Amino acid sequence: MPNLESIACRLVEAKVEFVLCGGLAAFLQGSSILTTDVDVVCDMGSENIRRLFDAVKDLHTYHRMTPGRIPFTLEQLTTQPFQDIYLATDWGQLDCFGNVKGIGGYSECLKLSEPIEMAGFTMMTLSLEGILIAKRAMGRPRDLQAVFELEAARERKTNLH
């Protein structure tokens, strides 16, 4: 996961407004399920998306959900609004969402987040409760497995206090 950590740290360095919200967030909260991408919910306003672009522009970034590997360009920021952005980079995949199922947009996710340190950087990540809400709402088998593990982690934390 070192490259995934590096992607997240790049976002922090570029001052992108985001909340870590997927498998990496679940891993940081106690799930053992490894992930292959960085999932964030972010402010999809043009200034924040510009900071996102600046954070990854030198990583040969392209839209991974489009045929032909269309590059992620600065021109796109002024010609089309984005709801979700699915990117591939030299370091791994980065998925940027406008909303998280079960929670809502960036502002709602921020209310259910907490600062967490990773690789020497502090970033906002969904709290354990926030991740549980999102993973239950997604309902895929791997999400439900993460719910099982995270509920066990919550139980262990409760018993320690």
| Mean pLDDT of all residues belonging to the chain | 92
Which has more pLDDT, 155 or 40?
Answer: 40
Task: Inform me whether the pLDDT recorded for 86 exceeds 80.
Answer: yes
pTM, entire model: 0.91
Task: Kindly report the CATH class assigned to 2-160.
Answer: alpha beta
Q: Name the residue type at position 3.
A: N
Tokens standing for residue 91: 């370091």
Which has more pLDDT, 66 or 38?
Answer: 38
* Rg for the chain, CA atoms, rounded: 16
Query: Cα(113)–Cα(144) distance, rounded to whole angstroms?
Result: 20
Instruction: Kindly list the domain boundaries of the chain, sorted by start residue.
Output: 2-160
